[in-house]
Structure 1
Amino acid sequence: MQNPSRRNFIRSATALAGSAFAPNLLLGQEKKLNELHVAAIGCGGKGWSDISEIAPGNRVSFLCDVDKNQARKAITRFPEAPYFSDYREMFAEVADQIDVVTVSTPDHMHFPIACEAIKHGKPVMVQKPMCNTLWETRALAKFAKEKGVLTVMGNQGATMQGTRLLREWIEAGLIGEVKEVYYWTNRPIWPQGTGLTFPGSPVPDTINWEVWQGSCATERPYTPEIHPFKWRGFWDYGCGALGDIGCHSMNSAFWALDLKGDFVVEASKVSEFDETMAPKRATIVYDFPTKGERGPVKIIWQDGVADPNTDKEFVRPPGLPKDLKLNSEFGQVFVGTEGTIFFNDAYCNTAPILFPAELKKKARTIKKVYARVKGGPTQELCRAIRGEGPKPVSNFEDHAGPLTEMVLAGNLAVRVGKKIDWDMERMEARGLPEVRAFLKREYRTGWEPDLT
């Protein structure tokens, strides 16, 4: 069945707004002081953890997921919250009862869902990466600014104490001038590369496959080899390893070193990939020029690393003891002229380790400058909505958008196989017009962007 246009759909769905189904379940309930009504879009996996994070002090009032089985846990936990399989239907029926929206879906649906929330004036948390194309990322940040809507991306590392401690240490000159930052991950932990097949299966009654495909122009039959987890390797739906972990890990350097702006990025050691799937492995190097008082910085990203302690292709960061065991899942190292800061995780959630150890004494003298954030990005957003705190650090315009663009530019370097001199203001690769083909997706009929 052909997907209806957004305008036609909303006209028909709005006619249902007077039904007793969803609104009347909430109208008779007394709202507690400062409690926000939450609409959670995407309820399984990361969606469940986002719901769990935002629920304290608020009311999870509406649940939306294309797969009712994925939403079972949330439906059981919040039985009074009406369930929808189509976010457009939800907004058409109950938008006036929503205070804040969480979007925890596959990457390709972040943009259309967030746009719909913003059109209704709803503050929104969108999981990382903000979008899975650079054009969508830029357009969404601009749209949120135009509409004056509070936003945040779900890269929880931006709220971690370690991220603030890192920036305080770097700005105080604890390790001297930062020259290099190393990131690594074992992702992908789902199928990527060439030679993969995805045979179709009957669509279960519990899944709205039409809405799951959403804005993607490539029609693919339902298969459990795509939903609910293995979509990440597709260029159409996810962004590979970079999309999964890049906005988490590289957030630390992006914020602490003020990396917003132009850069050069190049990919190497790239395993086979095709127009459908991302590669199993890649090394991506970003070079950022001098900015203000900060000198040039090199960011080295390595994905597909099964175990950095035994992998012969892995480039071990300098400044670490040879017998130091590295986290096989992910890690990050800041290399300065006078020392090294090591986090054995992707989020700055573990205690940072200093080398040489003598720096610990100096570190204890560095004063706190940046406020600590409690409750993660969703609670940070809720406090801003209530007027109890500033707008989130990882808001779309100032932070999440430019960070996501930086991360996704690494995938551009992988796909064109050339060094990219990235012009951030113009959102283009200088001298490489072939990059433009990867900046914006082809949209499915009826799902074209409508930023009005």
Structure 2
Amino acid sequence: MNNPHFSRRHFLKSSSIAAGMAAFPNLLLGQSKETSKMLQVAAVGCGGKGRGDISEIANGNKIIALCDIDHVRAEDAFKTFPDAKQFFDFREMLAEMADQIDVVTVSTADHMHFPIALEAMRHGKPVFVQKPLTNRIWEARALANFAKEKGLMTVMGNQGATTTGTRLLREWIEAGLIGEVKEVHYWTNRPIWPQGKGLEFPKEPIPDTLNWDIWQGSVATRRDYSPRIHPFAWRGFWDYGCGALGDIGCHSFNSAFWALNLHGDFVVESSRVSEFDDVTAPSRATIEYLFPAKAGRGPVKVLWQDGVGDPNNDADFIRPPGIPDDLELNHEFGQVFVGTEGVMYCSDAYCGRPPELFDDKLKEKIRTIKPVYERVKGGPTQELARAIRGEGPKPVSNFEDHAGPLTEMVLAGNLAVRLGKRVDWDSAGMKVRGMPEADALLRRAYHKGWEPKLA
């Protein structure tokens, strides 16, 4: 199967290495080259997931600036890196320290990914941005185009793009292990935060340690502060997050998107959607994508189910075909690839481990499949750092080739939910065919002073 966006990297250079890998030929060593330059890192978003992203990139690099609108949630990062200068406002940080910064990480609420990443790139900085890349399709396309125009290294924080399991899955599919892939099934127990119709978010006093205005940022509709929005439940809001699909979709869909080259046009339709409103997403939805055949593969159906309490005893759960009847599925996440000659099961959202096979013949066959794709040492931030230093290739989940189009695919599923109609996505035109009313959902209305500056 040929994916034009990624080149294969064959790096079993000698027979001695090949012999050493004979017992399990699919596992390749990560890069071991010593770092030649310690990058100076500015991190925007220092609590929660941001704290983990900072810890990851701090290995071999120097944290020189920490920015967060909530200095209580950022406290641990502040204490761990006491020499880093502290900020509430990323714009002030970049204006003051851009000449000292080598790379910027962005681990904030989804709606702020775009303005922060754009401002960093306008200063010529490579960026790491948590998933989803944005929560509006227009913004994802704009960041991808801007990164290409400026020639900047970028990566999105969908960790599955760096795992060995994802690489094994693609190699096995391309080797024809399970025949032609016809369907891919994904599920999650998300949302694990409140979302649905008629929720209330009572106003509370804004803490002195929180800059609520900057947290709201580019969103035109201003809301009173509520701890039921920040620091976690914003994920259910259409304005700030993008529901369960936006939270997990870029992790889960990554495997099929990369292995099956799901770029381009598709049709997507929602069903069995629970009640929701113009403020928050539904607590449950089933979303089906249909991708037309293209060079190297036939048509593919991708089925997403969220709000699943327990797939093993949920009467409404659509159990993937081909897996053993007595297989207990992961309650939180899962993915199943259904081919004409077998199935593969990944019991997580990231394909972090080798896919599980249920046919002894297939288990034996994988021993003959040679590695193709270079393994990544560390997560996305380290993959980006090596690329910036010139010690590794362009990250797989860079904005232009991967993260942008993948995010568009995910967000198109939310279009189908919000519109309640079958969405025929025209990728080149960045529009829904025959549905001009969808245009208003592709791009947000910006709060005054937060309009994008793409120059």
TM-score w.r.t. structure 1 length?
0.92
Q: Runs of 4+ in structure 1 displaced over 4 angstroms?
A: none
User: What corresponds to 2:234 in structure 1?
Assistant: 231
Which of 272, 280, 284 lines up with 1:281 in the alignment? 284
Residue pair 2:267, 2:423 contacting (<8 A) in 1 also: yes
Amino acid at match of 1:46: K
User: What corresponds to 1:348 in structure 2?
Assistant: 351
SS at match of 2:404: helix
Identical-residue share of aligned pairs (%): 72
Residue pair 2:184, 2:301 contacting (<8 A) in 1 also: yes
Which of 201, 204, 211 lines up with 1:201 in the alignment? 204
Residue 35 in structure 1 maps to residue 41 in structure 2: no
Which of 88, 91, 96 lines up with 2:91 in the alignment? 88
User: What corresponds to 2:14 in structure 1?
Assistant: none
Residue 164 in structure 1 maps to residue 140 in structure 2: no
SS at match of 1:358: helix
Structure 2: distance between partners of 1:302 and 1:118 = 35
Structure 2: distance between partners of 1:84 and 1:414 = 38
User: What corresponds to 1:359 in structure 2?
Assistant: 362
Q: Cα deviations across residues 337-395 of structure 1 (Å, max 9, x unaligned)?
A: 00000000010112311122321000111000000001111000000100001110000
Q: Cα deviations across residues 369-426 of structure 1 (Å, max 9, x unaligned)?
A: 0000011110000001000011100000000000000010000000000111110000
Structure 2: distance between partners of 1:50 and 1:291 = 36
Structure 1: distance between partners of 2:60 and 2:248 = 29
User: What corresponds to 1:257 in structure 2?
Assistant: 260
SS at match of 2:368: coil
Which of 99, 107, 127 lines up with 2:102 in the alignment? 99
Structure 2: distance between partners of 1:317 and 1:298 = 12
Structure 2: distance between partners of 1:293 and 1:82 = 51
Structure 2: distance between partners of 1:96 and 1:158 = 30
User: What corresponds to 2:441 in structure 1?
Assistant: 438
Structure 2: distance between partners of 1:154 and 1:42 = 13
Structure 2: distance between partners of 1:293 and 1:48 = 41
Structure 2: distance between partners of 1:67 and 1:180 = 43
Residue pair 1:239, 1:411 contacting (<8 A) in 2 also: yes
Structure 2: distance between partners of 1:445 and 1:357 = 61
Structure 2: distance between partners of 1:60 and 1:333 = 39
Residue pair 1:319, 1:355 contacting (<8 A) in 2 also: no
Structure 2 matches for 1:50-449, cutoff 5 A? Answer: 50-449=53-452
Structure 2: distance between partners of 1:390 and 1:33 = 15
Amino acid at match of 2:263: K
Structure 1: distance between partners of 2:152 and 2:80 = 29
Q: Cα deviations across residues 227-248 of structure 1 (Å, max 9, x unaligned)?
A: 0000000000000001100000
SS at match of 1:434: helix
Q: What is the aligned residue count?
A: 421
Ranges in structure 2 where 5+ consecutive residues have no aligned partner: 1-34
Structure 2: distance between partners of 1:353 and 1:385 = 35
Amino acid at match of 1:140: L
Structure 1: distance between partners of 2:271 and 2:209 = 42
Residue pair 2:272, 2:286 contacting (<8 A) in 1 also: yes
Amino acid at match of 1:286: Y
Q: Cα deviations across residues 30-73 of structure 1 (Å, max 9, x unaligned)?
A: xx951000001000111011011111100011100000011111
Q: Cα deviations across residues 122-172 of structure 1 (Å, max 9, x unaligned)?
A: 000000000000000001111111111110000010000000000000000
Amino acid at match of 1:131: T
Structure 1: distance between partners of 2:363 and 2:225 = 54
TM-score w.r.t. structure 2 length?
0.92
Amino acid at match of 2:354: A
Residue 451 in structure 1 maps to residue 447 in structure 2: no
Residue pair 2:132, 2:250 contacting (<8 A) in 1 also: yes
Q: Cα deviations across residues 283-320 of structure 1 (Å, max 9, x unaligned)?
A: 00000000102000000000000100010000000111
Amino acid at match of 2:411: L
Further displaced range: 428-437 or 206-215: 428-437
Amino acid at match of 1:242: L
Structure 1: distance between partners of 2:177 and 2:189 = 30
Structure 2: distance between partners of 1:312 and 1:61 = 52
Amino acid at match of 1:219: R
Q: Cα deviations across residues 190-213 of structure 1 (Å, max 9, x unaligned)?
A: 000012111111100000111000
User: What corresponds to 2:49 in structure 1?
Assistant: 46
Higher RCO structure (Cα 8 Å, ≥6 apart): 2
SS at match of 2:198: coil
Residue pair 2:185, 2:337 contacting (<8 A) in 1 also: yes
SS at match of 1:354: coil
Residue pair 2:131, 2:158 contacting (<8 A) in 1 also: yes
Cα distance, 1:325 vs structure 2: 0.5
Amino acid at match of 1:136: E
SS at match of 2:360: coil
Residue pair 2:198, 2:277 contacting (<8 A) in 1 also: no
